[in-house]
Amino acid sequence: MKNSLSFWGNCQEKIAEWLGVSDNELEAKRSEAENFKKDFDRRYLKIFFSGEYDFNDGLLFIYAGAGGVDAQDWASMLLRMYDKYCQQAGFGFVVLDQTVGEQGGTKSAVAEITGDYAYGYLKGEAGVHRLVRISPFSAKSLRHTSFALVDVLPEIDNAEIKIEQSDLRVDTFRSSGPGGQNVNKLETAVRITHLPTGISVAVQSERSQAQNKAKALALLQSKLVQLMEQEKVDELSKLREGVKNKDIEWSNQIRSYVIHPYKMVKDHRTNVETSRIDETLDGDLDEFIQAELQMANKQQKKKSTE
């Protein structure tokens, strides 16, 4: 390793001398080129986004699993890792809720990630993440394995329901029940049917037809919002189908992070691995995210041809 560093140092000096620049200027140019490549790679990945919600903001959920206090600490490390990644990618990152363990760490947390294609970039991070290290909570400095579950869902806007008049059938009828003689003689009651969904509401509590119609429209809107919310819940349930039934323990991990007895991060789906674990935990996830998106795209194409 020392020989490699020495070799690179000598090469850097020669290149700087050849270009007529200082070592610091050369290092700045190299860093600039690396940042340009990362930005290019992130933009290039957009060609793989074809999901309905890929463009949306995302909601990141993290749950500590098997491993006790170590697992809760691991969940906090993951929360920080994704925060760092979002900073580098230009996404907003806000922790909406966090349940802290008795000895620190995180039992569960949810964060909102905002920015174009936030969900598209991060959806492949959903799954069990495994950490192997010397436990900082072990009096005997024993090696410990911890697990945490990451779930990623798209944020779906609660668009205001706009009701087209052409989609409505309005019927009037006489009110029934107490209210005096006018109740039965005047058609003040209103029933409105939303033709596309078949939802029907009726109101007869007010004295005038106009008041009953206004209340009926408000009630209809509430029912349509409720229907939309239920459809949203069903859709999100489908999106998280591959994650929600997983136990947060052995054999279910999508990625392993090993700090001891050696340093390595390996994604078990794509086989991408690196020894740069410190950089990975500091949010350098581009290589893993790119490989997962490319793999998912190939699988999708294969399914479409079968």
Number of domains in the chain: 3
Same domain, 256 and 153: yes
Q: Let me know whether 150 and 204 are in one domain.
A: no
What is the pLDDT averaged over residues 67-82?
A: 95
Shared domain check, 153 and 258: yes
Give the separation between CA 304 and CA 285, rounded to whole angstroms: 29
Q: Per-residue pLDDT for 72 more than 60? A: yes
Domain shared by 60 and 141, yes or no: yes
Whether residue 185 sits in one domain with residue 37: no
> Structural domain of residue 82, as residue ranges?
52-157+252-305
If asked whether residues 107 and 36 sit together in one domain, one would say: no
Q: Extract long-range pairs of 213-217: CB within 8 Å, 24+ residues apart.
A: 213/170, 216/190, 216/191, 216/192, 217/163, 217/192
Which pLDDT score, from 0 to 100, does residue 73 have? 97
Q: What is the pLDDT of residues 162-183, one digit of tens each?
A: 788 999 999 988 765 544 444 4
Q: Which residue has the higher pLDDT, 181 or 283?
A: 283
Instruction: Based on the fold, state whether residues 153 and 274 are members of the same structural domain.
Output: yes
pLDDT surpassing 60 at residue 285: yes
pLDDT score at 19: 63
Residue 234 lies in a domain: no
Give the pLDDT confidence score for residue 283 in this predicted structure. Answer: 97
Q: Is there a domain that residue 217 lies in?
A: yes
Same domain? 202 vs 57: no
- What distances in angstroms separate CA 6 from CA 1, 3, 13, 274, 275, one per listed residue? 9, 5, 11, 22, 20
Same domain, 80 and 123: yes
> In this predicted structure, what is the pLDDT of residue 217?
87
Report whether pLDDT(149) > 90. yes
Residue ending a domain, among 209, 226, 243, is 226
The CATH number of the domain holding residue 112 is: 3.30.70.1660
Q: How far is CA 198 from CA 42, 192, 193, 201, 285, in A?
A: 45, 10, 6, 10, 48
Digit-coded pLDDT (tens) for 190-241: 989 999 989 988 888 777 889 889 888 888 887 887 687 677 767 767 776 6
Could you tell me which residue, 306 or 59, shows the higher pLDDT? 59
Q: Is residue 239 part of a domain?
A: no
Residue 173 lies in a domain: yes
Q: Is the pLDDT of residue 47 over 80?
A: no
Rounded CA separation 51/150 (Å): 20
Is the pLDDT confidence value at 300 over 90? Answer: no
Confidence check: pLDDT of 30 > 70: no
Do 57 and 146 belong to one domain? yes
Give the CATH number for residue 196: 3.30.160.20
Report yes or no on 246 lying in a domain: no
Average pLDDT along the chain: 82
Are 57 and 88 in a shared domain?
yes
Same domain, 219 and 172: yes
Section 96-106 average pLDDT: 89
* Residue-level pLDDT at 90: 94
